Every structure is written in C-alpha cells, then in structure tokens.
Amino acid sequence: MSTGHPLFTALVDDAALFPPGCASMPDALAAHPHHRSAHYADIVGRFLCPASRLPELIATLPAETSIELSLIADTGPTGLDEALVLGLADDRIDIEAVEVAPVQELDLMEAVERALEPLPPILAFVEVPRSPGWTGGLDAIAAAGRGAKLRTGGASAAAFPSEAELAAFILACVTRDVPFKCTAGLHNALRHRDSASSFEQHGFLNIALATHAAVLGEGTEAVEALLAERDGSRLVATFGQVTDHDARRTRANFVGFGSCSILEPVADLTRLGLLG
C-alpha cells in the first residue's frame, strides 16, 4: 500500500533521536527499517543524525544495513567535516543532506554567510532565525543555491511562528525558488491547539497546501487562510484538487519536515483518508 500521491512522498524525516522522543540509538536504528518497509513507507524520508553522534550510529548500525542520512551540524564546521569524512569511509552510510544553524551571537548576515561557507556540495539547509532582517539571510541562501530551514515549534508558545510569519516565510522561499524544510512541532496534519500544552500548533498538511497555493501564484491572504484552516474536510477537499504535476512543484519548495514520531503523521493521514 502507498499514499499514491507525490505531495507526501518522503515528506517525513525520521527524527527519532531528537526531542521530545529522544529514542536511544539502538531503538531508533531498529525502528527505521521497519518504517521504510511498512505500508506507509512512501512518506518516510531520511534518518536525521547529529554530526556528534555519527560515530555512535556507525558503531550501532548492523553490518548488513545501509541508511540514508541528513546530518545535523551540531559540532561546528570542523566537526561537520570530520563527520562527512567518517560517513564517506563507510559504504553503509549515504549522507544525502546536511542541516546547519547560524551562530546566534553574530550579525544575521555574517552568521548566515559563515554557515554557508564550509558546506559541502550536497543538499544543504540553513536555519533561518525568526529575527529582523531574516529575508536578507534568505537572499544569501538563495544566492548560494542552498535550502532554508524554519523552526516551527519548541518548548514554549513563542517557539511557534504565527500564521502570518509562516506565510511570509513560505512566500519568500517560493519567490526566491529556495527549497525549505521545517523542524519541530509538526506531529499532526491539521492546525490545532495542543491539549497538553495549550500551544497553537501548525499542521503539516496545512503547510503543504499553503505552499501549493504559493506555487500557483496565490497571495498572502490565501496562504494564511490555508495555514489557519482547522477543518479537516475542507483541507481534504483542497488536497483533492492538487494534480500530481503541481504536487511535485510544491515539494520542490516544501521538501519536508522532521518528526521524532513517524507514526503520528501516519495516523493523521490515515484518519483523513489520505494514506492508502
């Protein structure tokens, strides 16, 4: 069984090692092949691994197993280089992408430029801080031919961007033809208020359809409205109008998101009748 729709192909990166799940390396590596062979395998993307933990991953990975990684640069440029060399030397490891965050203490433009400078010639995403002048950072990312990354959640309400902020980011990326991915807070398909934390949380289906609208040339009002929509039936109806061609165009911009739980997005897509 598969999703049968390119809007969801490899949409969810496996972030089992990261909060709030924080799985152990053995547990995360044991679960990943099951996700990749399950009925929902189409939606499963890369395994996310901090650069600092790549030696642990290599020591834990079974001899006969191969894995596609996105490497999260938590060690600075030197540590990233060492991890890339280590991964290149192991035939079981395929590092397909890297993800970096600018140094917060620096001026934004300087921080983005420093983050961009040491990146290898593979798919790379630079996190865009939610701070004044962020579009300048995005311009630098676009000029370098790299991707952007936005944090869409966290441990406080302030960590979640507003619908207006997220719409501005999506439109800015689409306008500049910058691929982007999201991280944190996207366990569920639909926009909702979390019952445990009472935080307003974005939905990954909302983001996919809002990006689709931006790709088709719709403006801020339409993109914000899709990000704000909480009615699953309305979003499913909108999804039903997305052609395969436009879905691929959409995913060229919205590359995907990391989730410490693969099963939560699967459950939401199943409940909405979009999986299978």
> Is the sign of the CA dihedral 257, 260, 262, 263 positive or negative?
negative
CATH class of 12-242+267-271: alpha beta
pLDDT, tens only, 95-116: 999 999 887 766 777 878 888 8
- What token pair was written down for 153? 């959640």
- Range list of β-strands (E), 90-209: 93-100, 123-127, 147-151, 180-183, 192-193, 200-201
- Give Dmax (Cα) for the chain: 52
Where are the domains positioned within the chain?
Answer: 12-242+267-271
**pLDDT above 70: residue 128:** yes
pTM score of the predicted model: 0.94
Summarize pLDDT for 131-179 with one digit per residue, the tens: 888 999 999 999 999 999 999 998 899 999 999 999 999 999 999 999 9
Give the whole-angstrom CA distance, residue 134 versus residue 112.
10
User: pLDDT digit string (tens) for 72-89?
Assistant: 999 887 888 999 999 999
Q: What token pair was written down for 160? A: 């979640």
